[in-house]
Amino acid sequence: MIRARFGTLRGLVRLILSYPQLTLGLSASRTADPAQVRRLVFVCQGNICRSALADVAARRAGLRAASFGLSTTTGRAAHDPAIVAAHALGHDLSRHRAIDMADYVPQEGDLLLAMEVRQLHRLAADSRLNHLPRLLLGRWTRPMLPHLHDPYGLDDRYMATCLARIEQAVARLVSAFPGARLS
């Protein structure tokens, strides 16, 4: 059950720890004014599973979106199991190419949406990005899951579960950030 729902025991522990971090203001979140948000930028480690799916799902929902990875190689293709799981949800990741954080070009109105608290801390520590609003994508899942554990190399069932959670969160962003909608 843990492998299918949380990826690993570590994923479950990080999820449990993320609730008090978020509640006590220890997540390095930086609130966004919804009226000022013009583009949703999804962030994860490699930009080949989680943020890649969020980017594709957001664009399909009619939102301005981008994505990047904190530690990846620009141009890298999406992870094959992510492509399969995304396809089952009706999304095509076959043309996605990763973008490394160093190659991401911030724009006015960007909102960074990370998958994990530790990713928010990395964004807050980066002098080029620390002024941008940043939140956890998992705040928009139901139930709220502030930690969306990395499915890379894990059980295919968890890959499907994780990407479905991300798709669900992205669907809620449409009404939360109307300024990010394409005209």
User: Could you give the strand order of the β-sheet that contains 134-136, starting from the edge strand earlier in sequence?
Assistant: 65-69, 39-44, 110-114, 134-136
- Indicate whether 183 pLDDT > 80: no
pTM: 0.97
Active-site residue 155, yes or no? no
- Indicate whether 1 pLDDT > 90: no
Q: Per-residue pLDDT averaged across 63-70, rounded?
A: 98
Tell me the C-alpha distance between 35 and 27, whole Å.
Answer: 23
Catalytic annotation, pick one of 110, 150, 162, 165: 150
Active-site residue 44, yes or no? yes
- Phi, psi for residue 109 in degrees, rounded to 5: 95, 5
Q: Which burial class, exposed, middle or buried, applies to 159 when counting CB atoms under 10 A from its CB (0-12, 13-18, 19+)?
A: buried
pLDDT band at 43 (very low <50, low <70, confident <90, very high): very high
Q: With DSSP H G I counted as helix, E B as strand and the rest as coil, what are the percentages for the chain, rounded to 5?
A: 45, 15, 40
Catalytic annotation, pick one of 50, 64, 122, 165: 50
pLDDT band at 58 (very low <50, low <70, confident <90, very high): very high
Domain boundaries, given as residue ranges, for the chain: 2-180
Catalytic annotation, pick one of 44, 49, 122, 134: 44
Fold annotation for 2-180: Rossmann fold (3.40.50)
Q: Per-residue pLDDT averaged across 3-8, rounded?
A: 96
pLDDT digits over 106-134, tens only? 999 999 999 999 999 999 999 999 999 99
Q: Which residue has the tokens 């964004």?
A: 123
Q: Please tell me the predicted confidence (pLDDT) of residue 142.
A: 96
Q: What is the mean pLDDT of the chain?
A: 97
Active-site residue 50, yes or no? yes
Q: Per-residue pLDDT averaged across 70-95, rounded?
A: 98
The answer to whether residues 54 and 18 touch, using CB atoms and an 8 Å cutoff, is no
